[in-house]
Structure 1
Amino acid sequence: MKKLISSALMVTALLAIGDADAQQVVLVGVSGPLTGAQASEGKDNENGARMAVDELNSAGVTVSGTRVTFKLVSEDDQADPRIGVQVAQKLVDAKVIAVLGPYNSGVAIPASRVYHSASIPMLSVASNPALTLQGFNEVYRIGASDGQLGGAMANFAVDTLKAKTAAVIDDRSAYGQGVAEEFMSVAKARGLKILDKQYTNGQAVDFKGVLAQIKGSNPDVIFYGGYASQSGPLVKQMRQLGLRAKLLGGDGICTADMAKIAGPAASNAYCSQGGVSLDKTPAGSAFLKKYKTTFNVDTQVYGVSYYDGMKLLADAMVKAGTTTDHAKIVAQLVKSNYTGVAGEYAFDAHHDLKSSATTVYTFKDGAVVTYGN
């Protein structure tokens, strides 16, 4: 009889251990450009999310008594709207619980409709205002909007650079057009005269024709709405043609790639990025150090936002008490008040950040540095 009781107790103990060790795998999608001209930015975003996942899994996250293991499902949308929609459906079919990305506004806007139809939360740094103005409950912007980025550079041009005149170039992408329009709107309100508006595309490498037209008006600044893969050659060609104008841009050009491609030509170029300057805070400095140690490269622009976004999702799941109920997770995201490395994450009625610090950067010795350092 004693042996039977002992055996029963042992089975009970083993079952208890099994329950304690039970884990649930939670899939989180990442959509971004992992190949092509913007691959460094896409990989940076994926790295940020992966670093957060590794930390969460090491620390141990429990949701309603069940240990959770997060797993990234990363897909290459190639910065292409058509492919981005295909990726969105693929991630929906994979049964991800949420998605970080897409990175590009032109991809994020159509892809968001797929995620909305599937009731899957989407956290994106895409900055075009149209993304969140669709009114989708599932869509959240975890970076600055075009209004904040473009407006910050217009104010910087007037207040700091004392510019009186400007020319504008955009790459006709949803991001490039959006940030350029916001720059022009604030510039005009501040009395900064727009002398010329030119267009290019996301594959261009020769800007001499566009710049030759601008050169005649001799603007104080040129604002470029586009990405680093074009802004590097653009500023080099500005200097080759003898333009004295300073180059301005949004977060799309605020990358280490821009600094490396442009070299010394970027010394009079400036960009705005959402969030605090990471090297100014203990948490930011620690993030930069760990990122470099982990991936053996410097972070680009929004790796930290994807890191924060992943931590924000985990926090929402814990507080909502579920990893499977999309509606409850979305309801928790709506009332988020989360402190991340890059800043505070609390959302307004459109699911834009209520308060997004914007920092101005410049380029020095092949690196992005905070303006004024």
Structure 2
Amino acid sequence: MLFKTKFIPLAIAMAFAGSAGAQEVVKIGHVAPISGPSAHLGKDNENGAKMAIEDLNASGFKINGKAVKFVLLTEDDASDPKQGTAAAQKLVDAKVNGVIGHLNSGTTVPASKIYFDAGIPQISPSATTPQYTKQKFNTTFRVVANDNKLGGTLGRYAVDKLQAKKIAIIDDRTAYGQGVAEEFVKGAKAKFPGVQIVGKEFTSANATDFNAILTAIKGKNPDLIFFGGMDAVGGPMLRQIKSLGMKVRFMGGDGVCTESLPKLAGDGVGEGIVVCAEAGGVMGDQQKAMDDFVARYKKKYNSDVQLYAPNVYDAVMTMATAMADAKSAEPAKYLPFLAKVKYSGVTGPIAFDAFGDIKDGSLTLFTFKGGKKTKMEVVK
């Protein structure tokens, strides 16, 4: 039986046909923060994984002519590295066939060693630190552009398009926050060596009071503040920026580029004040596939896509494609096929380079107007 929607390409659809037989169970692990400040993002990721698993099972998916049932095993890492490694070991002990996750760089990197030692393929849909793939583990892949591109692109955009001359930097001391902030500075200075970094401050991933660091920054009169961190911190920070009467642009990476930011920031989000980037981006004919996915998600969960649910969906489908190509769900057998996979997904074409990074990863720049996340442009 061929799959009847547009979400699975012919390469997978061909695997559906075959002789009847005993149904094989393929276990896919998924890890994200389902509790803690980033729980809304973790649940968004989990929902994307569930949609993919349901679509695969509804299609009558077969591997090498044998019926397959996909089962999703979900774990909560609460954005905590220790809990993340515990979750990873739990999935290894459960003998999963592959893992989609983790969401945060700080949990993805330590967990990746556990999956590598067990020989289990891992695709992160959202971890952007370059360190993840620089480890040269042959089991690590990601379907989004890394911080070198994300932070660097924002840095160049800040000085080129926003004409920022004096910039203050704040990061949350996580692997992600520090990494994207560092790449932002590199990108800004590469584009305009004379740009002034007037202050570098840091906070934590659970902080709620930023008056001390913002007051210090205010005295230096920056044009722009770049924040490396997540929306749960960036939102309240924007509220306090406004309460201090600071007239300054605010930039951030994908961690703040969410549908929830206006709720978290209140009127601090302003009109066109915030500029952020989301890894990935579609243009032209690909936009319809994304729009269809977003509509299906909204209908199913009665909520908007927060950030990376489409990337999670594509990560699951990419893994399934490799299994179909390899005619096996055994990690050791399909891993070489995953390294050379080609998949046309909701988020665009997916193929990996020698390190497991997505080839030709794009970025989408957004701002916020009328309390809504508003697309600016897609950049390669």
* TM-score, reference length from structure 1: 0.92
Matched, 1:293 2:291: no
| Aligned equivalents of 1:353, 1:214: Cα separation in 2 | 37
1:321 to 320, 327, 343: 327
- The 5 A counterparts of 1:31-46 are 31-46=31-46
Matched, 1:347 2:348: no
2:227 to 209, 221, 224: 224
Q: Does 340-349 or 200-209 show the bigger shift?
A: 340-349
In the TM superposition, what whole-angstrom CA distance separates every residue of 1:83-124 from its partner, at most 9, and x where no partner exists?
Answer: 100000000011110001011111111100000000000101
Give, in angstroms, the shift of residue 73 of structure 1.
0.2
Give the aligned CA root-mean-square deviation in angstroms: 1.5
Indicate how the Cα distance of structure 1 residues 111 and 278 shifts in structure 2: closer, same or farther if over 3 A, else same.
Answer: farther
| 1:346 alignment partner AA | A
- Conserved 8 A contact 1:112-1:122: yes
- The 5 A counterparts of 1:128-147 are 128-147=129-148
| Aligned equivalents of 1:79, 1:253: Cα separation in 2 | 15
In the TM superposition, what whole-angstrom CA distance separates every residue of 1:294-347 from its partner, at most 9, and x where no partner exists?
Answer: 1111011111110000110111100011012x1222101111121111122111
| Aligned equivalents of 1:372, 1:154: Cα separation in 2 | 16
| Aligned equivalents of 2:351, 2:282: Cα separation in 1 | 19
Matched, 1:167 2:173: no
Q: Does 35-44 or 357-366 show the bigger shift?
A: 357-366
Give structure 1 stretches of 5+ with no counterpart.
1-18
Identity value in percent: 44
Matched, 1:240 2:243: yes
Give, in angstroms, the shift of residue 274 of structure 1.
1.1
1:359 equivalent in structure 2: 364
* TM-score, reference length from structure 2: 0.90
Query: Between Structure 1 and Structure 2, whose CA radius of gyration is higher?
Result: 1
- Conserved 8 A contact 1:278-1:288: no
- Conserved 8 A contact 1:100-1:309: yes
2:341 equivalent in structure 1: 336
Matched, 1:370 2:371: no
- Conserved 8 A contact 2:156-2:190: no
- Conserved 8 A contact 1:31-1:102: yes
Give, in angstroms, the shift of residue 278 of structure 1.
8.0
Give, in angstroms, the shift of residue 372 of structure 1.
6.6
1:189 equivalent in structure 2: 190
| 2:297 alignment partner AA | Y
Secondary structure of the corresponding residue to residue 261 of structure 2: helix
Matched, 1:283 2:289: yes
Q: Does 273-282 or 205-214 show the bigger shift?
A: 273-282
Secondary structure of the corresponding residue to residue 251 of structure 1: coil
Q: Which structure has the highest helix share of the two? A: 1
Runs of 4+ off more than 6 Å: none
- Conserved 8 A contact 1:21-1:67: yes
| 2:171 alignment partner AA | D
| Aligned equivalents of 1:20, 1:353: Cα separation in 2 | 36
2:11 equivalent in structure 1: none
| Aligned equivalents of 1:277, 1:367: Cα separation in 2 | 19
Matched, 1:266 2:274: no
In the TM superposition, what whole-angstrom CA distance separates every residue of 1:111-165 from its partner, at most 9, and x where no partner exists?
Answer: 0000000000010121111110000000001112011111121122122211112
1:70 equivalent in structure 2: 70
Secondary structure of the corresponding residue to residue 364 of structure 2: strand
- Conserved 8 A contact 2:282-2:348: no
| Aligned equivalents of 1:358, 1:366: Cα separation in 2 | 22
Give structure 2 stretches of 5+ with no counterpart.
1-18
Secondary structure of the corresponding residue to residue 20 of structure 1: coil
| Aligned equivalents of 2:345, 2:80: Cα separation in 1 | 30
1:11 equivalent in structure 2: none
Secondary structure of the corresponding residue to residue 358 of structure 2: coil
